[in-house]
Chains A and B, each alone.
Chain A
Amino acid sequence: GEDVEQSLFLSVRERDSSVINCTYTDSSSTYLYWYKQEPGAGLQLLTYIFSNMDMKQDQRLTVLLNKKDKHLSLRIADTQTGDSAIYFCAESSGYSSASKIIFGSGTRLSIRP
């Protein structure tokens, strides 16, 4: 079945760039997402990319998609303490709101001074 994999932990120094990586198996993915979960809260959509794009930039966030290798990454520039959270990669293979979304297990990003 479909699967989304990501490493569980990442530690970066404040003001450095963070790069969180994700691989997925579904070759028919239409949308790929990055969600952020802060302590004690639900997930919140950070950004998404359509499968026919290879890059999307939004302020400090850059998403890179390598569809051939089924690899997605999220780069956070100038990492700040407020970026500490769990980041979930997810993919969807349909266009409607009922399309199944598969989540990875989440990468916990910690920031050191």
Chain B
Amino acid sequence: NAGVTQTPKFQVLKTGQSMTLQCAQDMNHEYMSWYRQDPGMGLRLIHYSVGAGITDQGEVPNGYNVSRSTTEDFPLRLLSAAPSQTSVYFCASSPVGTYNEQFFGPGTRLTVL
């Protein structure tokens, strides 16, 4: 299994541009989520999905959209990038079951100029 994969690894955008961060998992996990990691602030939940066709907002959803058309894929869209969205983005998935272990992708480092 490849686990959780994310592309791209690095991205630089100009203010106002849009882009999609890709996330895929091959473990048949129902639950997927997006976090952003900022220095000294831990991980903050952006959006999550409990299954195909179902998404919901996390702690910091503004400026981001998600969709979940398949179990495997959970893309994150930045509609109009802003410098405040400069961060490292992690996608995670979790199986249904005990103790809710989250499996993380390697991250996407995004810089918005």
Chain A interface (Cβ within 8 Å of chain B)?
A: 4, 8, 31, 35, 40-45, 48, 50, 88, 92, 94-101, 103-106
Contacts and interface: CB of A to CB of B under 8 A. Distances in A.
A105 B31 contact: no
B40 interface: yes
Interface of B: 4, 29-31, 35, 40-43, 45, 48, 50, 90, 92, 94-102, 104-107
Contacts, number: 60
B31 to A, nearest CB: 4
B107 A45 contact: no
**A35, A43, A100, A104 — most chain B CB neighbours (10 Å):** A43
5 contacts: A4-B42, A43-B92, A48-B99, A103-B35, A106-B42
B42 A104 contact: yes
A46 B107 CA distance: 18
A101 B102 contact: yes
B104 A43 contact: yes
